[in-house]
Structure formats: C-alpha cells, structure tokens
Structure 1
C-alpha cells in the first residue's frame, strides 16, 4: 500500500471514530434530555431549591415591674433581584440608588455600586447581596424610600433579609443572671439557657432558592410555615435594687482587690430574688459578670462562720442548752484529736455565755459544745443538717445549681477533727444561695422555701405557665429555738462581730463568716468572707447574703469586708421602701406648733390639694390664684395675695418655685440666696414694677 492510500485509510478511520463519538454524544444528550430529564431536573431543583428553617423571634425577659431586661432586636441585610425592575424604572433610578448606597455604607464609590448592580442585571442574576453589613429597622424604613427600592419586592426586586440580635437595654447590669444567646439563638447560660424552651419559640420553614455566590433567596409560596414567637418571661428582679447591689459590691471588690464577689437579695415571705449580682476580677483588673458564683460550682466552698447558725440550731434542738449558759473558752486555744482550734481574738474570750459565743463567733466555744454533745453520735448532727434541707439541692429555677457537699461518718475522709471543723464552717461545701435560703427560713418563722427568680411565662397578656415557690421544709426547728437564734443573730449586730453596721433606724440580724481557703490540700492565709442576714430584724422583709472572696490588705474578715456591703444595700432598700419605716408617735408632731402647718403661702390649688390629702381643715371665700395661710385652731383660712399688674408682689412665705414664677412674670430678674422659703425681698411689695430690674430674694427656714 502506497503512502497516499495509507493516509486516506487513516483519515477515513479518524472520521469514522469522530462520527461515532458525535453520534454517541448526541444519543447521550437525547437520553439525558428526554429519557432521564425528569430525574435530573428534580435533582437540580433539590440542589437549588430547598425548605430552610425560619427562626422564631425569641421572647423577652422582663423585671418584676415590667422593665425590659433582654429582647430580640431585628436587623436586616439588603439584597436585590436586579432582573425584576423594568428598563424605565431601572434607568431612572440606578444612578441615585448607587449614590445613596455609597453615602450610607461608605465602602464603594457610586460608580462601583452601579457597575456591581449592572453586571448582575446583565448576567441575569436573580439575587445580589448589595452589602453584607446589617442595618437596623430605622435604616430599613429609610431605604424603602430610595429609588428602585421604593417599588417594593415585586416591582423593584428589593429583599430585606431579617436577622434577630439579642439586646440588653441595661447593658452589663445582671448580665450573667440574664445570660447570653448563641449565634444559633439558643440560650447558653443564665435565664436565657434555663428558660430556653419557653423563650425560643418554634421555628418555621419556607422555600428558598440557592443563588450564585452561595446566597439563598426566599421564594413566596403557599407551603410556608410561619414561626411561632417565643414566650416572654417575667422575673422577680427589681432593676433598681439590682443596680444598688451591683454598685455596692463593685466598690467593695475594687477597694479590697478581691478575686470575686456575689450578692443575693431575697424577699423573706415569697422567696423572690430581687437582686443577684456576680462579679469576678478580669485580667485587666476590672470586674465583670462572667460566672454565677451565687449558684454554681465555683461559688460552692467552705461557708465559714455563717454555718454556725445551723450548728447552733442543732445544739439547741438536741440539748437543754440555754443562751445564758456559760462556757469557759480559756485563752482561746483548744486542742482536739491532734489539731488546734483558735479564736480570732488574741488571748481568747475566757468565760462567756452561749449567746456571747455566737455573737463573737468563738470557734473554741463551738468545738467544745460539739465535742460534749455530738462526739459519740456524729450521724445525729448530720441528720439535723438533712432535716434542715442543707444536704440536697433546692431545685432552683436556673441551670447549674451546685449540689451541697456535707461529709458523713462513713466517708473515707472522715476523721476525728471533721465534726468540730464542720461545726465552724469547714469540711463542707455549700453555695451562697443555699446558705441564704437557710437564713431566710429563720426570718420566715422556720419555713424554708425554694428561692425563685421567674414568676411566669406568657404570650402577650396570656399567662402560659405560672411558677410558685416550693416549700422545702415547713419547719426547720421549734419556735422555742427560733426565738433564741433570732435573738442571737440580732446580738451579732448589736454587740458582736458586726456591731459596726448597727444603726438606729432599723435592726439588722445576721452572722459574719470568714474561712481560710484550701489550696493543694492546705489552708492558706487567703480568706473567703461573707455576711448573711435579714432586715428589719423585728419584722423581716428582706434577707441577703454578701460574699467577697480573697480580699487583699489588712482588712480580711467578714465583719470588715462583707458586712459593710450588706449595710449599704440594706440602707438603700430601707430608704426606698416606706412600708418598713416606723411611724413616729403622734405626740411627736402634734405638740410641735412649729411644724403645723407646713404651709405659708403659694398657689391656691396646690396648697388646698396638699391640705386635703393631709387631712388639714382649710377653707376660703376668695377665688384668687395666690394666697397666704392664716392658721387658727388647727385650721387654715386662705386669704388673697394679689397685686395689680404694675405692682411688685409680696412673695414672702412662698417656695422658691412659686416666687420665681410670679416675679419673673412681672419682668424682674431674680437673685436668690439661701435655702427654704422666702423670708425677705429687696423690692418693697406694692411698689411700682421696673421691668428688667433686679430683685434679691432671701430664703430661710
């Protein structure tokens, strides 16, 4: 075969192979298009069109008086379908729209925005994320008036994608108690996590189409399942008391350079928590709410001398001990099973009563009493603690409650010194909230109730779930013992370790606590300080516990560190709760002629209203606006105090507010000296008014 024939054969073979390949491709295309077309179209649609979850709006968290503590604020991302607007709408508005986008976002020039939208339109893209930055609702409303966008979704192609973000109106106040929300809109800690079921609502679903670039465009159709909004929860927190407690604790922590601290303020009768503050020291030295020390494991520690209250109750219930019985504590040192127990006072307290032992927190006295009455029956003491409700968790509404750790005689770590050390607050681990619940029981006539922080969950005005406090122990001890220990708790403040917080307005009952911190199996010179108690002592309304861990400096005891914080909080609570104030004896104000009546002159309607509210008899025949009071036989008669328009008025006896109103309306410039009511004026009443002239007004009592 010559070369020419060989080439022709090869060409024909190559042509045949190409023809066969083309026929195979055509056949495959036909098969894919017509035979398997429906299958692959469904597969493509499954990749690009899908049902996606639509997040439910999370419920709000409210304080006890309706203040908003946490809410979901809507934010939006701006996207458009550039193929929707017709040519006339698009051409007339694209330049203005690009300019407004550039001015608002400040990340691209108007030309760049116009080019970006034009390219998407020419490329027949159905979805374009204009800018990934989120905008708020007010900005969204503003953008809805912009060119092209004002035509809406179906004519202008605008798409506002809603994204909810959690917002706390009071910023850092009670942050850890309220809690946080994850990117998936789930509660992580605090109330957000504990009541996530109620707050989260029920997600819906809607049909979305996947667009070029990975974005998803919502498609409106009848298959959409709308989300169900989450329930709102109302807490027991009083935002004003929360602020008071946080400010007082924060100052103390900074002053003592402490590691962390917590405060819980609770209503005695209801167990409702009115304030819960947790502040821990950060690396930069500042303090922030990052952990719930009042409830969680990190706050569970040796309670120190606040635990002497349950110890004393157990002793009084078990024995015939009386507060007046004497104990000889010697020089303040006591050896027991190879260990030494010391009192805080150098040289000891000598011979003291049981009452004084509690007031001065004598460790030696408590060890001696425990040795005498419970040494041979330690389980009996543990049984008392169990009956008090101190050995098990309380079932608090918030997640993360620490289980109390109380040693038992059968434990491997039980030794000869365990019982006496437990009596003074060591070798046990209890959270501050649990200690407070016990003190609250003493204030509440022996009834120990579960602390509560959420009252109800509701949708709008419809209550879906109502929460009631659970009684943990109907009676922790006898009334006889309650009467004794309440007197002891008052004595701590009146005569004992916390006498620095005694005041004459109301009585505080409580107990200081100071315990050495255990590190690597050894007790160190670093302290955990606390004060737990209630007020007013004679009619308890609030109980409170203050904990400050690791104070630095020369003041390191509960009486010097935690107790002053308790008093600052109690003083401010007392000042704002008038129901706790004692009414003065009637004689104190009835016989003081200088006090009645507390009115002299002023605006008639205001003065008459005040007198009527106070039950003071008053009458007048005049109908003038400004009057002066004439007192006779515990009654007031009003007399007119009016002058002609061109005369200087007499403002003596008036408050500064009324005097300023009258004089300035006469065109006079008023100079004020002193405090109280007007006692003199520089221009004679009844003289001619010189508008623009000065008049000196002197105030006094």
Structure 2
C-alpha cells in the first residue's frame, strides 16, 4: 500500500506541475497578446514591411516672363506582377493569349530587343511567378502612356500585372543658358546656383509608402498606406530669356574667337538692381565652353575699372576737380623701387586734366593722385572704398560669393607702394558683380541697389513670398562729384580708350580695364591679361548696366579691354537698343503749338524772322544779337536769354549744327561732330572752364 501511495503521490505531483505549467503558458500567451502584443506585432511586421520615402515634385524655376528655366520631368520604372489574380486565373489564359502581341508592341516601341527575345523574357518571369519583374527602366511619360495601352497591360494592375514606379529627373530646357546661375539639382552631390539657394522652397515635403516583402526578398507597394508628398514651390526669377541669349551669345563669340580661358557678362537693371542676364563660360579640356563656374562671383584684381572708385574718392574729398592737371610723365613713374607703367606710352602727354587722364586710363595719373592726396593718411582712401561697399560681398541670392579683399595699413601685406597700386586696381580683390554694382550706382544717380535674382516664391501660381528692390546706399557721393564722374565715363567713349566702341545711334558710358594676371608659381611671365569693360546705356537715361570680364590665354595677340571685353558690351547694348526701338509705339501728333515746333537755341533775329513768317503769337521782346531759348507759355512763344559765360564752354545742347559750331569755335574749341540733327550730347559740359587747344565732341541725332 505504501508503494501504491508513493506512486499516486508522484503522479498527482506531476499532474499538478503540468497544470501549473499549462496555466503559465496561457498567462504568458495572454500577456504577449494583450500587453506586449503591439510591440511584437510591429517587430513581426518590420521583418516583412518597411516604409520608403516618396519624393515630392520639385518646384519649377521660371524666367521673369514665365518661361521654364529648370523643371522636373517624370520618368518610370516598369515592373510586372506575374502572380496577379488576372494572370493566374484560368491557368494563365490572359497571359498566354496576349504574350505574342505584347512582345511585338514592346519590340516596336523600344527597339532594344526582338519580338522573340521579349517573349522569352516574359515567359521566364511568368514561369517563376515573379511578383516584381523588372521590364524597363527610365522610360518617358510618353512611352509610359503608350505602354498602358499595350495588350494585357491595358487591363490594369490586378488583371494585367502592370506596376509603374514614378521618379523625377531635373532638366534645364534651355540647356547652357544661365546654367550655372539657375543651378543643378543633383541626387548624390551638392546643388549649386538657385537650386541650392532656394532648395528648401523647391524641394517640398517628402511622403511615405508602405512596402511589403515577398518571395525572393523583393518589396512591393501596399495599397492604401501612402502618405502623399507635398510638392515644392516655384521660383520666379528676374532673368529674361531673350536678354540671357543675347548676353550668352555675345560672350561666347568673343571667347571662341580669342581662345580665352574664362569669362563672365552681367546685365543689371539700373533702377531696381535686378539681374536680367548673367553668363559664365569656362574653357573645357576639349576646347569647348561650358558654364562650369560662376566667375561673376569670383574675386580677382579688377584693373582699370577700379579707377572709378579712386576718382570718386579724390573728387568727393574736394582735393581736385576733373579739370585740375596731373603729369603723366609720358606713361612711366618710379616710386621707391617700383615703377608704375601705363599700358600704352603717352609721348608728349605730360600735363593733362584729370578727366583726360581717366579717359586715357593712365595708371600713372591715378597712382599719382592717390599718392599725392592720401599718402599721409592712406586709411582715408580705404574709408572711401569701404563706403562704396567694396569690402563686402554684394549679398546676391547665390551661395559661393567670394569675400573681397581691401587692404588697410594694418594688413600684413601692406607696403609703401600698396596705396598707388590700389589706385589703379591692383593689390585689391573684388568680384565682377561688385564692380557692376558700383557702376550701376553711378548710372542710378548715386543710389546703390542690391543685385538680386528672384522676384517671388509661388505656390499654385500665387506668390507666398516676394522680393523687392533694396537700396544699399542712398548716395555714393555728392551730386557735384556724380556729375563729373558721369562726364568722365562718357568721355572714355568719346575721347578715350573706348572711342572705337562709339555708336552713332545711342550714347553709353563706361570704363575699359586691362589687368595682368599671375599664373600660379609662374607669376606674370606668361603674360595672361584680364580684359574688362563696365558701363551703362543709354548714357542720358540709363536702363541697363553691363560688365564684361574675360581672362585671356597666355600671350594672347588681342588683350586690351577695348578690343576684347568692349565689343561684347557693344553687341549686347546694340541688340537691346534695337529691341527697344522696335517696341516703341509711333508718336501720335497732338495739334498744339508746342508739338508742331522743334525748338532750339538760336540768335534773336533768327527767331524774329521765324515767328513773323509763320505768324506765331509772341510774348515779350527779343534782342537781335542775343542767344535765346524758346518755349511755349499760355499758347504763345516766349524767349529767355541764354547766358554764355566768358572763358567757359558754351552749352549747345538742343542747338542745330550751324549754331553749335558758331558758338564752340568762337570760344576757341576744336569741334568733332558725330551724327546729324540737333545736339544731344557734348563731351565737355557747358560752363566748364576753357583750356587751351581743347577738343570737344558733340553728338547729334
């Protein structure tokens, strides 16, 4: 009996243990399902599903007139689900009935495989029941639309097994045009240009798609679990496609003709600071040219275009006027152990006016002025350069603008000759865009505008952020200085280094520049010159400022600013002027007294004869021998005496050629006449003090 009890006790004990173990399992199952269930289910799902990001459609970059400069084009990867319900139903009847015709369509459309090869490819995928069979990569939207109409695929995803994955590619429809400024959107590298600056607006917000893993480790989309992306905003630039084409073509023509290394051309709207066109071309190893870098933002020694800053400093400090004299010493001046040379010798040119020294682009003249007036206080000169914002980047909405270098006496490289060399554009580093901004300020009556490239950020055609013209300086100098500076810049074209660029149809003002550039360790031995021209047009009512900077090849036969950069400026100005003339509407005559007469200054007896012959109503008396100006007041012709101060240049603007010649030659001036009609411009302003054997150029139109 004891043995039996002992055995029963052991059986009961094992049974109780098994019951307790079962209860523990049930409790653990309940705990796993209800307490930790979500955690373990997500762990299980993570082994079979995953989320992939869905890129948003990137915004489009437009020109100011609404043309696409950079946009995204959809491309498609096409796959086939050979285990789709329609393809497995009825022993694969749909696939077998359509495989031949589908193979023919694929072969004709893509022309990369024969009909037989496509059929073999499709049959292999069907045999393996491949649920994510890759058929074609990177097909265009047009091809995708055709594909959707092919046999079997036209039945849709569930019956025909067609799976299409969309992805976008970034393209620039105008290709080279402003390519570096617009920029490139690249998946595996950093963006550049506007694509980089405004990337946060253009890129939009990414979405998500749930993907499920199937046999073979392939993931397929799970329907109904997509989080749609939010598309990017559009960027409306200040660029004008037609102007950009003009600028790019003019620069390219000169680059190719002169086999130049690199170059840039910037076109800025005077009143606003809008960049209407910007071209950057660099020579490639195969000899072609491409927009490889934004040379407009690279700081280099500017050369003679920098002399404008020197002249503004001297005139604004009232150390001199443009009619004061400076000795050019025939184009060579030694200071310390160094010698300043003019690019061209000036035999017989010793004492000339500061205006003429500027027109001749004399390095000696500018260096002597800076040394004479600022040698004891060189930081006063530097203060002017800083006032003109030449020590700061322009702040244009492009990443990568170089930091300019304007030395001070505290600079490590400052020497006894730094000041005179800075006066003609050496030992300083500024970008072409900074130079353009300075010349634009002169054209804009002294008001310096910040250059910018974007008008607005748009969402579905409506602006969400707009950019307005920004004034950096209300006035870069006094009005008296500005008047003299404008006359000097016009004089460069009339009498100076840019006289070969003069146009009989419109006036423009500017400055040439020719700078010797160091070639790394070889120094200046290779005679590499940087040619430049900066100016604005038309001179009397400036609409555009343009700068051209071209770095020439070593020992180039043609390297002066007037012969390399100047012609590019002139071609741009000519074409824009021609476009402006075409847009002008014909004048509608208003039959009033003041529109029927072309008034000009003349002698009183001439006006007496005119008014008597035409029987015009006259107000007041006219002296026969006095020079008078005529105007209409209260429907009557009235006259005012034109004063011609003795010993000063007469003001002949508005006169006919006969009267202008009479006054100018009687004043002792040599007169050069360009054009026909009435005088619209004179190279020496009226009221300027007369000098012996002075030449004046008058433009007529």
**Structure 2: distance between partners of 1:102 and 1:520:** 57
Mark the CA change 1:45 to 1:100 in structure 2 (over 3 Å): closer, same or farther.
Answer: farther
Report the 3-state secondary structure (helix = DSSP H, G, I; strand = E; otherwise coil) of the residue aligned with 1:523. Answer: coil
Q: Name the counterpart of 2:131.
A: 126
**Structure 2: distance between partners of 1:211 and 1:254:** 58
Q: Name the counterpart of 1:178.
A: 182
Query: Aligned-pair distance for 1:582?
Result: 12
Pairs within 5 Å for 1:663-682: none
Could you tell me which of 273, 280, 283 is aligned with 1:281? 283
Worse-matched range after superposition: 37-46 or 499-508: 37-46
Task: Assess if the C-alpha contact under 8 Å between 2:80 and 2:162 holds in 1.
Answer: yes
Mark the CA change 1:415 to 1:584 in structure 2 (over 3 Å): closer, same or farther.
Answer: farther
Query: Aligned-pair distance for 1:442?
Result: 0.5
Mark the CA change 1:417 to 1:323 in structure 2 (over 3 Å): closer, same or farther.
Answer: same
Q: Name the counterpart of 1:673.
A: none
Report the 3-state secondary structure (helix = DSSP H, G, I; strand = E; otherwise coil) of the residue aligned with 1:226. Answer: coil
1:572 pairs with 2:594 = no
Q: Name the counterpart of 2:103.
A: 98
Q: Name the counterpart of 1:156.
A: 160
Q: Name the counterpart of 1:475.
A: 475
Mark the CA change 1:214 to 1:271 in structure 2 (over 3 Å): closer, same or farther.
Answer: farther
1:553 pairs with 2:552 = no
**Structure 2: distance between partners of 1:489 and 1:341:** 23
Task: Assess if the C-alpha contact under 8 Å between 2:52 and 2:211 holds in 1.
Answer: yes
Report the 3-state secondary structure (helix = DSSP H, G, I; strand = E; otherwise coil) of the residue aligned with 2:483. Answer: helix
Mark the CA change 1:498 to 1:224 in structure 2 (over 3 Å): closer, same or farther.
Answer: same
Q: Name the counterpart of 2:451.
A: 451
Mark the CA change 1:569 to 1:149 in structure 2 (over 3 Å): closer, same or farther.
Answer: same
**Any idea what the Cα deviations from partners look like across 1:203-246, whole Å, max 9, x if unmatched?**
1111112455665422212x421101111111111111111111
**Structure 1: distance between partners of 2:573 and 2:221:** 56
Query: Aligned-pair distance for 1:583?
Result: 8.9
**Structure 1: distance between partners of 2:385 and 2:515:** 20
Q: Name the counterpart of 2:677.
A: none
Could you tell me which of 66, 88, 92 is aligned with 2:93? 88
**Structure 1: distance between partners of 2:416 and 2:583:** 47
1:189 pairs with 2:189 = no
Query: Aligned-pair distance for 1:267?
Result: 0.5
Q: Name the counterpart of 1:421.
A: 421
**Structure 2: distance between partners of 1:235 and 1:187:** 21
Could you tell me which of 111, 136, 139 is aligned with 1:135? 139
Query: Aligned-pair distance for 1:465?
Result: 1.1
**Structure 2: distance between partners of 1:385 and 1:63:** 34
Q: Name the counterpart of 1:523.
A: 524
Pairs within 5 Å for 1:534-549: 534-549=536-551
Report the 3-state secondary structure (helix = DSSP H, G, I; strand = E; otherwise coil) of the residue aligned with 1:373. Answer: helix
Query: Aligned-pair distance for 1:300?
Result: 1.4
Task: Assess if the C-alpha contact under 8 Å between 2:98 and 2:151 holds in 1.
Answer: yes
Report the 3-state secondary structure (helix = DSSP H, G, I; strand = E; otherwise coil) of the residue aligned with 1:385. Answer: helix
Gaps of 5+ in 1: 1-29, 592-701
1:508 pairs with 2:508 = yes
Q: Name the counterpart of 1:319.
A: 318
Task: Assess if the C-alpha contact under 8 Å between 1:265 and 1:545 holds in 2.
Answer: yes
Worse-matched range after superposition: 282-291 or 523-532: 523-532
Query: Aligned-pair distance for 1:101?
Result: 2.3
Query: Aligned-pair distance for 1:410?
Result: 0.3
**Structure 2: distance between partners of 1:251 and 1:75:** 36
Query: Aligned-pair distance for 1:91?
Result: 2.8
Report the 3-state secondary structure (helix = DSSP H, G, I; strand = E; otherwise coil) of the residue aligned with 2:524. Answer: strand
1:353 pairs with 2:353 = yes
Pairs within 5 Å for 1:153-302: 153-183=157-187, 188-211=191-214, 215-221=218-224, 223-295=225-297, 299-302=298-301
Mark the CA change 1:519 to 1:107 in structure 2 (over 3 Å): closer, same or farther.
Answer: closer
Query: Aligned-pair distance for 1:191?
Result: 1.2
Worse-matched range after superposition: 337-346 or 514-523: 514-523
**Structure 2: distance between partners of 1:43 and 1:497:** 79
Task: Assess if the C-alpha contact under 8 Å between 2:519 and 2:528 holds in 1.
Answer: no
Report the 3-state secondary structure (helix = DSSP H, G, I; strand = E; otherwise coil) of the residue aligned with 2:534. Answer: strand
Equivalences, count: 553
Report the 3-state secondary structure (helix = DSSP H, G, I; strand = E; otherwise coil) of the residue aligned with 1:435. Answer: helix
Mark the CA change 1:200 to 1:214 in structure 2 (over 3 Å): closer, same or farther.
Answer: farther
Gaps of 5+ in 2: 1-24, 598-701
Q: Name the counterpart of 2:338.
A: 339
**Any idea what the Cα deviations from partners look like across 1:583-607, whole Å, max 9, x if unmatched?**
99989x999xxxxxxxxxxxxxxxx
Q: Name the counterpart of 2:654.
A: none
Query: Aligned-pair distance for 1:165?
Result: 0.8
Q: Name the counterpart of 1:305.
A: 304
Task: Assess if the C-alpha contact under 8 Å between 2:528 and 2:556 holds in 1.
Answer: no
Report the 3-state secondary structure (helix = DSSP H, G, I; strand = E; otherwise coil) of the residue aligned with 1:401. Answer: coil
**Structure 1: distance between partners of 2:240 and 2:227:** 38
Compute the TM-score of the two structures, normalised by the length of structure 1: 0.75
Query: Aligned-pair distance for 1:123?
Result: 3.4
Q: Name the counterpart of 1:391.
A: 391
Task: Assess if the C-alpha contact under 8 Å between 1:319 and 1:373 holds in 2.
Answer: no
Q: Name the counterpart of 1:656.
A: none
**Any idea what the Cα deviations from partners look like across 1:100-134, whole Å, max 9, x if unmatched?**
22333344444443444344344343221112x32
**Structure 1: distance between partners of 2:217 and 2:560:** 62
Report the 3-state secondary structure (helix = DSSP H, G, I; strand = E; otherwise coil) of the residue aligned with 1:376. Answer: coil
**Any idea what the Cα deviations from partners look like across 1:165-194, whole Å, max 9, x if unmatched?**
11221122111111111135x861111111
